[in-house]
Amino acid sequence: MSSSFISSYLSFYNLLSSSLWSYILIENIFYVFIQKAFPIPPHQVLIYTQVFNTTIEILHSIFGLVRTPIPTLLLQSFARLIILIGIVVYIPQSPAIYNIYTFSGLIFAWSITEIIRYSYYVFKNSSILKYLRYTTFIILYPIGLTSESWTVFHSYEYTSGFYYYFLKYAIVLYLPGFLSLYSYMFKQRAKVLH
């Protein structure tokens, strides 16, 4: 494949992903500020978008289309997939996914991060997007960590057996995983915004 084809393909993928996350953000704003509640079942577009992005980005890394390390992709995706597949899909009765404040905080943090990230990949010459890409994570990552942890913690009582212990173990991994991603982003920030 030619480099111009790969570049066009990646631009299309990133533009599509930015658009999907923009839709998720707008949908979240609608439910939080107008409806004051999430629909049942909630977050369908969010689930499909995250699974789509996770799958495609791992393939991009495997085939060398991007330089993102696979462990970084897996670490970032793991936490989100625990929430979306492991709780929203697997434990739909958990009240944590209907908490308008915590779950919407999670969606705000994820969607704003992804809109900026994917837009930056499309418009790499934009100094504003570059600054936002390597600065907004300072606030958005802790919001995401707090919201994700709250969601997992408040879903324990709706599961049992192996999955109960899996969630207990997963939440213990949140802090080291967060610290790893957070420090990685600070290193990237120092490199890019020197």
Q: Give buried/exposed letters for 32-56 (b at 16+ CB in 10 A, else e).
A: beeeeebeeebbeebbebbbebbee
* Omega of the bond leading into 41 within 30 degrees of 0 (cis): yes
Q: Give me the torsion for CA of 99, 179, 73, 158, rounded to 10°.
A: -30
Residue 177 and residue 169 in contact, taking contact as beta carbons nearer than 8 Å: no
Q: Which of 141, 158, 163, 164 is catalytic?
A: 141
Half-sphere exposure of 102 (CA within 13 A, CB side): 17
Q: Which residue has the tokens 């949140």?
A: 174
Q: In the annotation, is 141 catalytic?
A: yes
Q: Which of 27, 57, 148, 174 is catalytic?
A: 148
Q: Report the candidate in 68, 48, 50 with the shortest Cα–Cα distance to residue 58.
A: 68
Q: In the annotation, is 174 catalytic?
A: no
Residues marked as catalytic: 141, 148
